[in-house]
Amino acid sequence: MAPTQERSYTINDIYELPEGERAELIDGQIYYIVPTSRKHQRLSLKLSQMIANYIDSKNGDCEVYSAPFAVFLNKDDRNYVEPDISVICDKNKLDDRGCNGSPDWIIEIVSPSSKRMDYMIKLFKYRTAGVKEY
């Protein structure tokens, strides 16, 4: 995923994308999301189920969401991501649009094409946004 241009974008630009086109917004730069593989989807589903089952077994209050799930980092209009898996324990961060602020735990399933994005750009963004575990 590479940024599109050097102008600064907002969440409104994401909302104006054509139907079915997905992208993330990090510090005002748009990064288009490529469709994931079957293997990626299967792994995401299994991990989500395992985490949710564990939370339920401990009577936890956290909720688990899989992509596409909107996360508005920093509660601003320049940062919007769709992590593969998000775990949110503060229900006040949740509304009908998604999560406003940082999830407690984010999991990204890394593929060869997403290494730079996941290990550099998102790692830095999640850390500075206050994500506790990545």
Q: How many domains does the chain have?
A: 1
Question: Per-residue pLDDT tens for 54-92?
Answer: 999 999 999 999 999 999 998 788 999 999 999 999 999
Rounded to an integer, the average pLDDT of 121-125 is: 92
Q: Quote the CA–CA distance of 100 and 74 in Å, as a whole number.
A: 8
Total-model pTM: 0.88
Rounded to an integer, the average pLDDT of 105-113 is: 94
**Percent of the chain surpassing pLDDT 70:** 96
The label of the residue with tokens 């961060």 reads 93
Alpha carbon 10 to its chain's center: 16
In a domain, 97, yes or no: yes
- Check if the beta carbon of residue 109 is closer than 8 Å to that of residue 84: yes
Q: What is the pLDDT of residue 112?
A: 87
Rg (CA), the chain: 15
- Check if the beta carbon of residue 84 is closer than 8 Å to that of residue 43: no
In a domain, 1, yes or no: no
The label of the residue with tokens 């939370």 reads 55
Rounded to an integer, the average pLDDT of 15-36 is: 93
6 falls in which pLDDT band (50, 70, 90)?
A: confident
30 falls in which pLDDT band (50, 70, 90)?
A: very high
| Helix ranges restricted to H, 8-83 | 11-15, 38-57
Mean of all residue pLDDT scores within the chain: 92
For residue 82, give its domain range: 36-129
- Token reading at 24: 């993330």
Q: What is the pLDDT of residue 27?
A: 93
The total number of residues shown for the chain amounts to 134
CATH number, residue 87: 3.90.1570.10
Q: Quote the CA–CA distance of 4 and 84 in Å, as a whole number.
A: 22
Q: E strands, the chain, where?
A: 23-26, 29-32, 63-66, 71-72, 85-88, 94-95, 98-100, 105-107
